[in-house]
Amino acid sequence: MSYVTAGRCRRSPWSGWVLAGVLAAAPLLLLPPPAAAAGSAPPPAPPASATPPTYTSYPAPPPLATSAGEPSLSYDAKSGDVMFEAGLQTLRVTFDDSTSPARASWTDASYLLTSTLTLDPILYTERTTGRTFVSQLAGATSLMAYSDDGGATWTPSQGAGIPAGPDHQTVGGGPLPSGMLTTIAYPYAVYYCSQAIALASCAVSLDGGLTFGPAVPMYNLTQCGGLHGHIKVAPDGTAYVPNANCGNQQGVAVSTDAGVTWTVRLVPGSNSPGASDPSVAVASDGTLYFGFADGSGHPAVAVSHDRGQTWTNVWDVGASLGIQNTAFPAMAAGDPLRAAFAFLGTTAGGNATGDDPSFPAVWHLYVAHTYDGGATWVTVDATPNDPVQRGTICTAGTSCASTRNLLDFIDARADGKGRVLVGYADGCVGSCVAAGPNSGTALGTISRQLSGKGVFAAFD
């Protein structure tokens, strides 16, 4: 199909994009997030005895996903395919495991409504039903559509609740809490959350994402500030939205009544603010895993068994590899004792999340795995021979001049056999790989687990 592009986009300090010549919208006049605070990182994670997993990277074939800053991906258990959002392109990726490593086929599944203009892109697939939602932020609303057949056909959605914030939307879903009635139209709740200057809010759809109810505040500036992470819903219907800046700690907004009310719960042992949004994932028994860029710059993780009221196993999972700076946490979970934490990391100390392309940092994609509920971790370099970025990864919004190509986040999920999938944008291609200057690209790429135990023990 032909592509309708939006020109070169720049991020506002709170991540709203200004579309040159396409969308007449002014950037939000907000200060950039503060630099990461110096502080002691959590203690090093005890090492796991498991064999370290390995990964294979699958870059999208041009012209697909060449502008994939802030990619999102999901796994469709009905088809076995991966859905991948790269800016204005919605892609379907099929893996053929008749060879090892597998072969990947990328197909454009874009829909006109969600492939014309955007302030922020996001994709979410409800893995059980296979329904994929694509949302493109359009001010204080969203251009949204959903598909039940991998993008072959699409249904337009209302897009957001009222009121909605003009920045950094997230879409997710899952079962309703016990005692709440579902509708005939769709068995799960669908959430749309976004943020404004003074608060962040969530709206819920009970008809499969076709329409949304009124938005309810999650928190205000007296509780948390800055960007929130992506919503995840537990098997018991509890909804979680993480935040890197809740006073002097990081935390998570929690709803146990399908978004009617929200409570902010803090993570002791975390240092705020982190350089990137934290990420949560929920195991099959409701165990909550919280992955974050600690205020010290180190990659850290915490575990809760009571919906975030108390936390345990708060560890630095990058200490074994000497990681000093972290960007873009992304959690995935499966069985109760199993989870994976993906992030971009570098062994370079100092201000590696500033805006200096000559800064001596080499960034790779790392994934940490636990097989005992977070008591021990094994962390691996998933891209050992192919850096993701050279220089800095700037996380300061439109004040960034040259190293903003990767934007704000990556994504991680598990496939049907528990293999971990990480969607990221590759900012170092061509001569950059062999120590040349950073290419400044944002090539959509999937890193797929090749060996080692995944997050479902049944497939070990």
Convert the pLDDT of each residue in 132-165 to its tens digit.
Answer: 999 999 999 999 999 999 999 999 999 999 999 9
Ranges 20-29, 41-50, 136-145: which has the least confidence: 20-29
> What b/e sequence results for 414-434 when a residue is b if at least 16 CB atoms lie within 10 Å of its CB, and e otherwise?
bbeebbbbbbbbbbbbeebee
Q: Which two tokens stand for residue 203?
A: 């709206």
pLDDT number for residue 39: 65
- Residue 3 inside a domain? The answer is no
pLDDT of residue 197: 78
Which DSSP state fits 9? E
- Could you please report the per-residue DSSP string of 89-150? EEEEEEEETTSSSPEEEEEE---GGGSS--SSEEEEEETTTTEEEEEEE-SSSEEEEEESST
Q: Domain range holding 302?
A: 9-459
Q: Is residue 240 pLDDT above 90, yes or no? A: yes
In a domain, 359, yes or no: yes
Token pair 């891209």 is found at 383
pLDDT of residue 227: 84
292-317 pLDDT tens trace: 999 999 999 999 999 999 999 999 99
Which percentage of the chain shows pLDDT scores above 70? 91
Q: DSSP per residue over 315-340, as a string?
A: EETTGGGT--EEEEEEEEE-STT-EE
Taking only the tens place, the pLDDT of each residue in 259-283 is: 999 999 999 999 999 999 999 999 9
Report the C-alpha gap between 428 and 434 in whole angstroms.
10
Q: What is the mean pLDDT of residues 79-84?
A: 98
Strand, helix or coil for residue 34: coil
| CB 199 within 8 Å of CB 217 | yes
Report if residue 2 sits inside a domain.
no
| pLDDT tens-digit map of 420-456 | 999 999 999 999 999 999 999 999 999 999 999 999 9
- CA dist., res. 437 & res. 109, Å (int): 34
Domain annotation covers residue 302: yes
The answer to the question of residue 1 being in a domain is: no
CA distances from 283 to 235, 304, 336, 418, 450 (A): 8, 11, 5, 12, 22
pLDDT at 10 over 70: no
Position 408 in a domain? yes
State both tokens at 39.
């502080």
Residue 28 has pLDDT above 70, yes or no: no
Q: Which of 237, 249, 239 is nearest to 218 (CA)?
A: 239
Instruction: Give how many domains the chain has, as a whole number.
Output: 1
CATH code of the domain in which 153 resides: 2.130.10.10
Q: Is residue 4 part of a domain?
A: no
Question: Do 327 and 293 contact (CB within 8 A), yes or no?
Answer: yes
Average pLDDT over residues 116-142: 95
pLDDT (0 to 100) of residue 198:
81
